[in-house]
Structure 1
Amino acid sequence: MKLIIFGATGFSGSHFLKQALLNQKIEKVLCLTRRELQVKNDKLINIVHNDFTKYDNDMIEKMVTDYDGCLWAIGGKHLDFKTLEEHFKVSHTMVYEFVKMIEPVIQKQSKVFSFLYLSGKYADQSESAYYYLLGPTRNVKGKTEKELTQVQQRLPNLFTLSILRPAGIVESKWLPKILPSQAVHVDTLANVALDLISSNNLYTTKIYEQNDIINYFK
């Protein structure tokens, strides 16, 4: 499989990349990043790209033509951003604009394309989560899930959408063991994501909650 990864300079995305380079099912990895990656590997192609809401048509065509799927790991809690507008742009606009751009290319080429979106626990597709209970984060993730699902429904036999809703993503090996409902090891998450995107042929949308993720390989 040939795979695109967005977010490879972040915590989760960097582990997605690490595991993808180790995974024998993955033969090539394209990472679009704002700064050059320090990782060097024969399987890796790194393109420095400054604006994740804009791509030229040739780039979009090439990504769909040459690659089989995409892992999206850009985003975060609204508390990590200076403004709610910035959070919305990074956590919703970037991914939705990209998927809207690849949609007509997938349709034109009749090319099956798999997409995995890293969401979060308690994402609220009704967009009605209470503000002081991480409402902006949950609502933006829920809105993104909902709108990506609408794209998948328009491409029912061509676009596979997997949504991961992990709780806390950690490097600690003991925390997920004592708090399995609240934490998942980042490498476990990465391996689940890679297995899903390399084997998913449901041509539908499926959401994987925290419990599904930690028990995926059992």
Structure 2
Amino acid sequence: MRVVLFGATGMVGQGVLRECLLDERVEAVLAVGRAPAGTTHPKLTELVREDLFALEPITGYDTCFFCLGLSSVGVAADEYERITYQLTLSVAAKLPENTTFVYVSGASTDSTERGRVRWARVKGATENALAKLPLRTFFFRPGYIQPLHGITSKTPLYRTIYRVAAPLYPVLSRLAPRVVTTTEEIGRAMLEVAANGYEHQILENTDITAAARR
């Protein structure tokens, strides 16, 4: 498996990169982003570009894990749509046909695109547009994600929340397994889905956990 990874500096992307580098099925990883991932490994190559809309076509890779995104909180509607929808589709259009494309969406994403929540509509529109492309697409909709192995969020508030929640995670995972997962499980699930597919194109939190344990 040869993987292109977008968003390797984010919390989810860090977890996915870690699992890619550990997994023997992964031959090479190209991390594409606006900043270096801060990791060195024989499998890893980095492509740092300020303008990700200006990327050349990406060839030589069979899988794309798209973990790049931003919170809708405090972000103008047009900027959120530009990054969440337009950039994702711009990247997908630069991949060869039949590339496996795993997109990190989120729980409560609105596939109808008609709900009241803006971010959920935009995520839903992104999923729907990706599904029409000649790619092998899967959409991950995790709930609460607990970072592991020293991985941290870039958002100070979220870092505080995760530090407080970390000792409680074993309890949360037992009490609410349908809505909680970890960065490790997401990474393992992505690799499993890329290698062997899945019964559904949309993977909710329980599907992510199930795929990670296969």
Q: Same fold (TM over 0.5)?
A: yes
Q: Over residues 27-48 of structure 1, what are the superposed CA-to-partner deviations in whole Å (9 max), with x where a residue is unaligned?
A: 1000012112220100000111
- Write the distance in 1 (CA, Å) between the matches of 2:34 and 2:188: 24
- Write the distance in 1 (CA, Å) between the matches of 2:201 and 2:112: 17
- Aligned match of 1:138 in 105, 120, 130? 120
- Unmatched 5+ stretches in structure 1: 107-111
Sequence identity percentage: 23
- Aligned: 1:78 with 2:67: no
- Unmatched 5+ stretches in structure 2: 148-165
The residue type paired with residue 136 of structure 2 is T
3-state secondary structure, aligned to 2:192: helix
| Mapping 1:15-54, distance limit 5 Å | 15-54=15-54
- Write the distance in 2 (CA, Å) between the matches of 1:145 and 1:52: 19
Aligned residue number for residue 67 of structure 1: 61
Aligned residue number for residue 162 of structure 1: 138
- Aligned: 1:211 with 2:210: no
The residue type paired with residue 141 of structure 2 is R
Aligned residue number for residue 183 of structure 2: 186
- Aligned match of 2:87 in 72, 94, 101? 94
Aligned residue number for residue 109 of structure 1: none
The residue type paired with residue 201 of structure 2 is K
- Write the distance in 2 (CA, Å) between the matches of 1:176 and 1:34: 34
Deviation (angstroms), 1:186: 1.4
So what's the TM-score if we normalise by structure 1? 0.82
- Write the distance in 2 (CA, Å) between the matches of 1:68 and 1:101: 12
Aligned residues: 192
Moved segments of 4+, more than 3 Å = none
